[in-house]
Structure 1
Amino acid sequence: MSDGYGIVDPETVPDDQFQTCESTVRRLTEPLGAEEVRVNQVVVDPGEVTTPHTHEGQEEVFVALTEGQIAIEGQVHDVPRDGVVRVHEDTVRNLCNHTETRHVWVAFGAPPVGTAEDFGAYVVEDEG
């Protein structure tokens, strides 16, 4: 951390995709210079659903920049714009969009386990 702070316009960060779904992610951790938290902007278009998962050793906080939807243990919750959701590391979660408008989130994970390429303790639930 050279400057002690970071400021990023997510629109300047290249679009990417998660390894397990089609949703757009902008990986903000490195551009921000964050060392103790992982930060991503996630864009969930109408009809999209991110992969249900947990993170061993990582709690997550999601901030809805627009109205959004999150499934927690399979139950879909509507989240108002500027709403904040905290999810324990062992709780199955995924972002979803069963509406006609784009949902935009900022997701924070702490401590930052794994890397942007390898989520480390990212656990995808078995659909069996």
Structure 2
Amino acid sequence: MTDEFGVVRLEAMDEEPLPESGICHRKLTEALGCIEMRVNAVTLDPGEATAPHAHERQEEVYVALDGGHVRIEGTLHEVPAGGVVRVGPDAVRSVRNDGDEARTWLMFGAPPHGTVDDFGEYRMPEE
């Protein structure tokens, strides 16, 4: 793969469970050759949601391929198919599927590096 571009097919990528929720996601960062951001895809079955979390220094952009909902700082927002959401560092966020079919989200985060030390502590809000 060249450093200038990368192409992947989501369905060709292996899924692995997120450590916080067990929901499967696809890590796309390395396969795409990204150096300035992290990229993941998560497909949520009906009723599933990612664990509420925040990052000290990482902002994220979510693309709702099939539509869905995102909860930011306790407020639920509907996102249409193809909708794009930006979430700043420190805001507690979670994507969810309140529909009756699977929904896929693309998730972009920066700074890019894949260790907690590089983008600040991954924080789960206290219940």
- Percent sequence identity over aligned pairs: 48
Q: Which runs of 5+ in 1 are unaligned?
A: none
CA drift at 1:111: 0.8
Q: Is the 8 A contact 1:59 1:88 kept in 2?
A: yes
> Quick one: distance in 1 between partners of 2:78 and 2:96?
10
TM-score (normalised: structure 2): 0.91
> Quick one: distance in 1 between partners of 2:3 and 2:89?
30
The residue type equivalent to 1:56 in the other structure is E
> Quick one: distance in 2 between partners of 1:113 and 1:121?
13
CA drift at 1:27: 0.3
Partner of 2:14: 14
Q: Which runs of 5+ in 2 are unaligned?
A: none
> Quick one: distance in 1 between partners of 2:4 and 2:121?
28
Partner of 1:56: 56
Q: Is the 8 A contact 2:58 2:120 kept in 1?
A: no
Q: Is the 8 A contact 2:57 2:120 kept in 1?
A: no
> Quick one: distance in 1 between partners of 2:23 and 2:114?
20
The residue type equivalent to 1:98 in the other structure is D
TM-score (normalised: structure 1): 0.90
- Report the 3-state secondary structure (helix = DSSP H, G, I; strand = E; otherwise coil) of the residue aligned with 2:31: helix
Q: How does 1:33-72 map to 2 (within 5 A)?
A: 33-72=33-72
Partner of 2:30: 30
CA RMSD of aligned residues (A): 2.0
- Report the 3-state secondary structure (helix = DSSP H, G, I; strand = E; otherwise coil) of the residue aligned with 1:48: coil
Paired residue total: 126
